[in-house]
A and B are shown apart, each in its own frame.
Chain A
Amino acid sequence: KNEVEQSPQNLTAQEGEFITINCSYSVGISALHWLQQHPGGGIVSLFMLSSGKKKHGRLIATINIQEKHSSLHITASHPRDSAVYICAVSFGGGADGLTFGKGTHLIIQP
């Protein structure tokens, strides 16, 4: 069964801390997505990557294809980063949408 596992499920940190969220998957993929779900429920795509590393502002996403693992890092975290971060993968083959992890609920305290 194609699965996506995220850790930790919940994370509370102080403003300014370096944050790491991990994602592992069971079989080969064509792409991995990191999404952010705001407290109001909206979902926004942060990154899509199939190899290496991408950076956008204070967010960095890395992927290790051989180890079937990806990380999302947040530098200089801020209370506005509080959200649910979701890892999702496309397992290739047909256009069968994404398979999602359960999400990491991040709270950044001032």
Chain B
Amino acid sequence: NAGVTQTPKFRILKIGQSMTLQCTQDMNHNYMYWYRQDPGMGLKLIYYSVGAGITDKGEVPNGYNVSRSTTEDFPLRLELAAPSQTSVYFCASSKTRFNEQFFGPGTRLTVL
């Protein structure tokens, strides 16, 4: 099992550009999450999904969109990138909300 994979590992965007961060898990987990980690701050929840076709906002959803068309994939879309979106993004998954979460390796995004 590859676990949770994320692409790309690094990306530099210009202000106003858009991009999609990819996340895939091969553990047949229903629950998937996107978090962002800023220096000196705890990770914060952006969006989460409890199964294919079901998504919901977390603590910091503004400027992002998600979709969940399959159990395996949970892409995060940034529209009109802003410097405030410079961060490290982690995708995670769990079997249920009562199980441990498995994290991907992260995507380091810089918006200039």
Chain A residues with Cβ under 8 A from B45's Cβ? 96-99
Chain A residues with Cβ under 8 A from B92's Cβ? 43
- B33-47 contact mask (Cβ, 8 Å, vs A): 1 or 0: 101000011111100
Is A86 within 8 A of B99, CB to CB? no
Chain A residues with Cβ under 8 A from B58's Cβ? 96-97
Is B106 within 8 A of A41, CB to CB? yes
Give the secondary structure class of A's interface.
strand
Chain B residues with Cβ under 8 A from A102's Cβ? 40-42
B: contact size bracket: 20 to 34
- A38-73 contact mask (Cβ, 8 Å, vs B): 1 or 0: 000111110010000000000000000000000000
Flag whether A107 is at the interface (Cβ < 8 A). no
Flag whether B86 is at the interface (Cβ < 8 A). no
Using A96-B45, A97-B33 as known contacts, say yes or no to A33 and B100 having CB atoms under 8 A apart.
yes
Interface positions of B (Cβ within 8 A of A): 31, 33, 35, 40-45, 48, 50, 56, 58-59, 88, 90, 92, 97-103, 105-106, 108
Interface positions of A (Cβ within 8 A of B): 4, 30-31, 33, 35, 41-45, 48, 86, 88, 90, 94-103
